[in-house]
Structure 1
Amino acid sequence: MADGDADGPTVSVVIPTVGRASLRRAVDSALAQTRPPHEILVVFDGTAPAADPTPWRDAWPDRPVRCLVADDGGPTATRTTGVDAATSTLVAFLDDDDEWLPEKLEVQVRRWRAERAEVAYPVVISLCVDVDADGKVLFVPPAGGAPAGRTGAGLADRLFRRTSLRQRTALGGSSSILAPRDLLRAEPLDAGLDLHEDWEWLLRADRRADTRVSVVERPLLRYRLNRPGTSAGSPGRGWWDSVAFAGSAGLSRRAYGDFLLTVSAPIAAAHGARRDALRIAGTALRRGRPGLPAISMFTLLMTTPAGLRWRLGALAQKLFG
């Protein structure tokens, strides 16, 4: 591993970007950490027309920010370019439309150091605060609960089971991941995936005998919710790739059903493929055992406009928990 500083391991932040204006907020949130990162690598998708690094190269003078360009496109290629360029012991990913809370790295590095006494490659993830496109808070997860289990099945349940009608995310996504650089090089992100590649990597890494994925049971970032199916990681007809991922991930019946209803089906619905969304829901009910929150979320998705859907979900949460 790379040498750490006197206070412990150093951290390289990797921010894949397609050139969105929100990039400035993301970088600023990394610079504002109570435990400052060693470097911030802003990696532009070389195939995205708007991903021009030129205006950004001098955006943070005298700060440890470097702009790189990935030759290949997509979130996996941009993150891998950043990992290859990283010089620190640890790598933390941050999407260009998310923001870290100030203590994110401090808390995660503390957890990493504690886990390092028992396992060679600890990976640390966290909860997140869901916000809309305007930054309005939609959901704050309750703190507490047990850390994720060692096994892939246990972690999958922790990632994908829905316990609240207002919950939208599966923990903090890629923006919550803090991982050893050496692990990311030995067990790289799957270059063949541009959808759910972060979840696939977490489940694969957690199956290693020398690795443990641990959850910090408090929100450490603000996760910006995009309309389902509109992110860079949701290609056309990607809902069937999403269903295939769920079928190959070794999920419990509850996690499988919840995932199809709250991840795969919404991608299809967002692209106007409502018939496919219903087919996916049928698969969730036949092969899975989705919980009431996931069933309710899917029903609201298919029957109400987005604004009303949120208000009904908030009301149901107050009435039924």
Structure 2
Amino acid sequence: MALISVIIPAYNSMTYLPETLNSVLGQTHADFEVLIIDDGSSDHVQEWASKIADSRVKLIAQPNQGASAARNTGITHAQGKYLAFLDADDLWQPNKLEKQLQCFAENPEVGLVHTWVTMINEKSKPTGGILTSFSEGAVWEQLLERNTIACCSVMVRRDCFEQAGLFDQSLRSAEDWDMWIRIARYYPFAVIRQPLALYRMIPTSKSKNCQLVEQSLSRIIEKNFQAVPPELSHLRSRSYGYANFNLAWKALQSRDKDYKAARQFRERAIGYYPELRSTRDYLRLTLAISLMQWFGPNGYSTLLSSLGILRRLALTITNPSLAK
């Protein structure tokens, strides 16, 4: 039995899936199984998987049911003591699993270990952005406000799901946030402050569908605040504030690059949580909306590309391994 089960939901993902799998097979810790859950794909993933010589890789096919159901299928078939989740277009640094296992060994009470994340583009090049998180210890209240943990960075002890349940299959987006909240009710978290996972920014991805994401975020907030004691009820408005902030960025990052929708989400966020106006994130968002309005989608994309080149250059100088 493998120590770690790596679960990869796949739906018409052959553009990136081979590279994703290679980043797993190249891990410095090799005691793992890889469960690729084919969620009703039509892009010959089964034919591709049948040619993989590594016996650690298994393909499980099911009718299309969404990412939550695919992850749940992986969980129920997993053999490992630890479960790690990776979307079919994201990547890992070679030492990710090794460092997370070490963290679990040093912190046996922890239920979930996550890492920082490097943002990459469709060509697997770093954009210069790094998603940092300091969510460790008792993080339930913090996660009620907003999600600070990327799914591609997570490793979870198997027994967490026996306590917290599986992914909510009624959610079509942001289902990982709901899962982390539920796990955090029972277990402390740990974070490795190094970017060991790589998240791919794709304008047409499901996560950029603002309407779909908005519906899921609202359901997650209402669902989880049903169990919140009265003294923490004020966090609900903060949660809606951060959710609308998230939606504003997604509107800018979507294929349509809708700055008007971004502006509406931003104002709604401030309505829920006025203190956001004094944050650095508010200034960044306001600047991005203004640049989109002034330069238009093409000019904005060109500007971001230029800034990305500068950030990648800085990464190359400070840490060459992150710029590969």
Report the 3-state secondary structure (helix = DSSP H, G, I; strand = E; otherwise coil) of the residue aligned with 2:111.
strand
Residue 212 in structure 1 maps to residue 188 in structure 2: yes
Q: How does 1:1-321 map to 2 (within 5 A)?
A: 10-18=3-11, 19-46=13-40, 48-50=41-43, 52-116=44-108, 119=109, 122-139=111-128, 141=130, 148-155=136-143, 160=147, 170-171=148-149, 173-186=150-163, 187-208=165-186, 211-227=187-203, 230-233=204-207, 237-244=211-218, 247-248=221-222, 251=235, 257-261=241-245, 263-269=246-252, 270=254, 272=256, 275-288=260-273, 289-290=275-276, 291-301=279-289, 302-303=292-293, 304=295, 305-309=300-304, 311=306
C-alpha contact 1:237 1:268 (8 A) present in aligned 2: no
CA apart distance, 1:300? 0.9
Task: Give the SS at the match of 2:281.
Answer: helix
Q: 1:232 to 1:279 in 2, by over 3 A?
A: closer
Structure 1 residues 190 and 242: CA distance shift in structure 2, 3 A: closer
Distance 1:149 1:155, change over 3 A: farther
Is residue 195–residue 234 contact of structure 1 (8 Å, CA) maintained in 2? no
Structure 2: where are the runs of 5+ without partners?
226-234, 315-324
Structure 1 CA distance for aligned equivalents of residues 202 and 248 of structure 2: 15
Matching residue's letter, 2:248: A
Answer yes or no: is the 8 Å Cα contact 2:244–2:266 preserved in 1.
yes
Correspondence for 1:163: none
Change (3 A) 1:266 1:154: closer
Deviation by residue 1:170-206 (Cα, 9 ceiling, x = unmatched): 54x2111101223224421111112111111111210
Q: Give the Cα–Cα distance (whole angstroms) in 1 for the partners of residues 98 and 151 of structure 2.
A: 18
**Aligned in 2, Cα 1:287/1:221: closer, same or farther, shift over 3 Å?**
same
The one-letter code sitting in structure 1 at the alignment partner of 2:42 is P
Cα distance in 1 between the residues matched to 2:281 and 2:307: 13
Q: Distance in 1 between matches of 2:52 and 2:180?
A: 32
Paired positions, count: 288
Corresponding residue SS for 2:80: coil
Q: Is this contact kept in 2: 1:83–1:185, CA < 8 A? A: no
Partners of 1:260 and 1:310 in 2: how far apart? 26
Q: CA deviation at 1:59?
A: 3.4
CA–CA distance in structure 1, aligned partners of residues 286 and 78 of structure 2: 40
Q: Which runs of 5+ in 1 are unaligned?
A: 5-9, 161-169
Cα distance change, pair 243–27 in 1 and its aligned pair in 2 (3 A)? closer
* Cα distance, 1:258 vs structure 2: 4.5
SS across alignment from 1:237: helix
Q: Secondary structure at the match of 2:202?
A: coil
Task: Specify whether residues 27 and 115 from structure 1 end up closer, same or farther in structure 2 by C-alpha distance, changes over 3 A only.
Answer: same
Structure 1 pair 98–146 and aligned structure 2 pair: CA distance change class (3 A): closer
Q: CA deviation at 1:296?
A: 1.9
Kept after mapping to 2: 8 A contact 1:53/1:69:
no
Residues 210 and 251 in structure 2, CA contact (< 8 A), matched pair in contact too: no
* Secondary structure, aligned partner of 1:59: coil
Identity of counterpart residues, as a percentage? 24
Alpha-carbon distance between aligned partners in 2 of 1:70 and 1:115, rounded to the nearest angstrom: 36
- Deviation at residue 20 of structure 1 after TM alignment: 2.4
Structure 1, residues 280-317: CA drift from partner, whole Å, max 9, x if none? 2111111123222244235414434223145469989x
Contact 2:117–2:198, Cα closer than 8 Å, also in 1: yes
**Structural RMSD (CA):** 3.1
Deviations along 1:265-290, whole A, 9 cap, x unmatched?
Answer: 23345365655433321111111232
Return the letter of the residue paired with 1:292: R
- How far 1:252 moved relative to its partner? 7.7
Give CA-to-partner distance per residue, 1:209-254, whole Å, 9 cap, x none. Answer: xx12221111111111111xx3245557214315515754665877
| Aligned-residue offset at 1:73 | 1.9
Amino acid paired to 1:191: Q
Shift of 1:21: 2.2
SS in structure 2 of the partner of residue 216 of structure 1: strand
